[in-house]
Structure 1
Amino acid sequence: MDRLCPHCQQPLTTTDNGVFCPHCHHHFTACCPDCQQPLNVLKACGATDYFCQHGHGLISKKRLLWLPAPENH
């Protein structure tokens, strides 16, 4: 993954719940760029898609908004 952590600029790693920075230990969740709500992650046949339940439909990976995850990680 070529995304960098907005806190420390180190590479992020993919997790089941979003992305994680192993350097500064911040978690991020994929959110809709239109409504900023968390997206449903759909995984099938090796593909990952993102769906907004709030009326914006499928969201392109290029448009994902990565916001800090809730503190329960």
Structure 2
Amino acid sequence: MNENICPVCEEELEWTGKYHCSACDENYIKVGFCPDCDAELEKLQACGAANYFCNSCNELKSKSRIRFEFQPE
């Protein structure tokens, strides 16, 4: 089951170096929000692993708790 769904038409987004909806012909970015304070998270990526940091809470957040949203590029 793919979690990358277009917020407009609910079709599956393709990864082409960015998220793209063929049906809407629109590109999207995937943005994570803190589960505790709802602030936008900073993505930290190193050695193939991605971590998410909340500047408001000043701590790392578990990827399983993050609310992701696709926003137009």
1:22 aligns with 2:21: yes
Write the mapping of 1:1-73 to structure 2, written as runs, cut at 5 A.
2-3=2-3, 4-13=5-14, 20-23=19-22, 24=24, 25=26, 27=28, 28-55=30-57, 57-69=59-71, 73=73
Higher relative contact order (CA 8 A, sep 6+): 2
Give the number of the structure whose alpha-carbon radius of gyration is greater: 2
Q: When the two structures are aligned, how many residues end up with a matched partner?
A: 69
Give me the CA root mean square deviation: 3.0
Q: Give the unaligned 5+ runs of structure 1.
A: none
Instruction: Report the CA distance between 1:21 and its aligned residue.
Output: 4.0
Choose between structure 1 and 2: higher helix proportion.
Answer: 1
Q: Which runs of 4+ in 1 moved over 3 A?
A: 12-16
Match of 2:55, as an amino acid? Q
With the length of structure 1 as denominator, give the TM-score of the two structures: 0.63
Q: Distance in 2 between matches of 1:30 and 1:14?
A: 17
With the length of structure 2 as denominator, give the TM-score of the two structures: 0.63
Q: Give the unaligned 5+ runs of structure 2.
A: none
